[in-house]
């Protein structure tokens, strides 16, 4: 038992939250290299098991119903292993079996459906995995794939910006209410991480494949026969960003008429406008802000990585000379210094400035 754990136990005991002595842990520590060997063994064993099933049912797998039943049975078998054995080898064997069963079902869906139907069924399937499989890793991966395929589905329906905004709202809601439901905290965090990873994936695709030149030329466009305003995604994300900022400010006792609140709202709207040109900036800052407000270093790291990618990809893809890029960086640095000076002289107190 570490000294830190002893201090925590004594503090809780003095506050009369718990009673008695701290129970001794029966868990045996496994070295990292042993865990790696067990993980490799589990995945190799699962691979041979699945190859055996593939050879045994090779002709039957051409029938969609048989493939779906077999994939479901493999997933159930993997979940049963997770529940029965708390061992590194069996855990990795169960994960490999479950993911292989999911891959078989998705392959069957894509082979026997076409167009938008396959993406709808895929997103629903991963949503069911997220909801009903009692595993942290499954919920992270399932929510990531569900959100990603859901975004692709809405893109195919001609409303690409709506999917990203809905995923951002779901992510913000989960992390803003992280401690409101202690019974479901583990599942909530798993889904929250999966959705945050999906947002980063969506940002990467948007930064690489989307061009925002049409926003300056045409404020509206037609996609797959649906008339849409080009700025709808940034508008919705801006509204969500204002909601997140207000929830965090309200948590610390600020009123909507406070100077702090008004300055944060103005800064949020400026960042939303910047995101029209630099795709993903406001989304990345939201992930970073949610992580900072909850003291979650993993979420903060994801937000920082996403922000760096958005800015660097925009800088790299700019169709101007290196001298022009250098001038833009100089102007950006001067603007940031000016914002800091304004905040330190008109918004923040002396104590807050010293701590900044």
Cβ-based neighbour number of residue 143 at 10 Å: 29
Choice between 253 and 242, residue whose per-residue pLDDT is larger: 242
Q: Exposed, middle or buried: residue 215 (CB in 10 Å: 0-12, 13-18, 19+)?
A: middle
Determine the Cα–Cα distance for residues 280 and 272; give it in Å rounded to an integer.
10
Look at the block and give the residue holding tokens 């949503």.
127
Helix axis angle, 297-317 to 281-293, nearest 10° = 160
In the chain, where the domains are located: 32-112, 320-356
Determine the Cα–Cα distance for residues 217 and 254; give it in Å rounded to an integer.
40
Q: pLDDT category, 8, cuts 50, 70, 90? A: confident
**pLDDT tens for residues 108-150?**
888 888 778 888 999 999 999 898 888 888 888 889 999 999 9
Mean pLDDT of 22-41: 60
Q: What is the pTM of this model?
A: 0.75
pLDDT at 203: 81
CB contact at 8 A, 340 and 308: no
Q: pLDDT category, 171, cuts 50, 70, 90? A: very high
Sequence-ordered list of residues with C-beta below 8 angstroms from that of 126, at least 6 positions apart, any chain: 102, 142, 143, 145, 146, 149
H helices present in the chain, as ranges: 3-14, 32-56, 64-84, 88-112, 116-132, 136-156, 160-176, 185-209, 213-217, 232-251, 259-277, 281-293, 297-317, 322-346, 350-355
**pLDDT tens for residues 247-278?**
888 888 888 877 778 888 888 888 888 777 77
């Amino acid at each position: 038992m570490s000294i830190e754990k002893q201090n925590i136990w004594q503090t809780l005991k003095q506050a009369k939250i718990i009673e008695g002595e701290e129970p001794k842990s029966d868990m045996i520590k496994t070295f990292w290299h042993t865990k790696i060997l067990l993980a490799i063994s589990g995945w190799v064993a699962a691979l041979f098991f699945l190859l055996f099933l593939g050879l045994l049912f090779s002709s039957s797998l051409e029938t969609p119903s048989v493939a779906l039943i077999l994939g479901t049975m493999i997933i159930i078998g993997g979940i049963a292993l997770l529940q029965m054995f708390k061992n590194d080898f069996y855990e990795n064997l169960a994960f490999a079996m479950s993911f292989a069963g999911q891959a078989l079902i998705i392959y069957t869906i894509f082979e026997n459906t076409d167009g938008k139907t396959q993406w709808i069924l895929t997103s629903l399937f991963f949503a069911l995995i997220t909801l009903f499989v009692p595993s942290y890793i499954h919920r992270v991966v399932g929510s990531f794939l569900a959100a990603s395929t859901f975004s692709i589905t809405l893109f195919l329906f001609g409303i690409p910006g709506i999917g990203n905004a809905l995923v951002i709202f779901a992510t913000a809601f989960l992390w803003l209410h992280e401690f409101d439901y202690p019974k479901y905290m583990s599942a909530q965090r798993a889904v929250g991480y999966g959705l945050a990873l999906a947002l980063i994936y969506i940002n990467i695709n948007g930064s690489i494949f989307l061009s925002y030149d049409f926003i300056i030329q045409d404020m509206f466009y037609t996609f797959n026969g649906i008339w849409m305003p080009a700025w709808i995604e940034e508008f919705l994300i801006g509204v969500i960003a204002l909601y997140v900022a207000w929830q965090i400010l309200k948590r610390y006792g600020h009123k909507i008429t406070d100077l702090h609140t008004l300055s944060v709202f103005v800064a949020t709207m400026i960042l939303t406008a910047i995101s029209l040109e630099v795709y993903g900036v406001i989304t990345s800052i939201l992930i970073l802000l949610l992580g900072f407000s909850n003291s979650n270093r993993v979420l903060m790291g994801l937000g920082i990585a996403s922000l760096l990618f958005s800015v660097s990809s925009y800088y790299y893809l700019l169709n101007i000379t290196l001298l022009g890029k250098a001038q833009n960086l100089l102007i950006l640095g001067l603007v940031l210094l000016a914002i800091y000076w304004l905040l330190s002289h008109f918004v923040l107190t002396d104590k807050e400035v010293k701590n900044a």
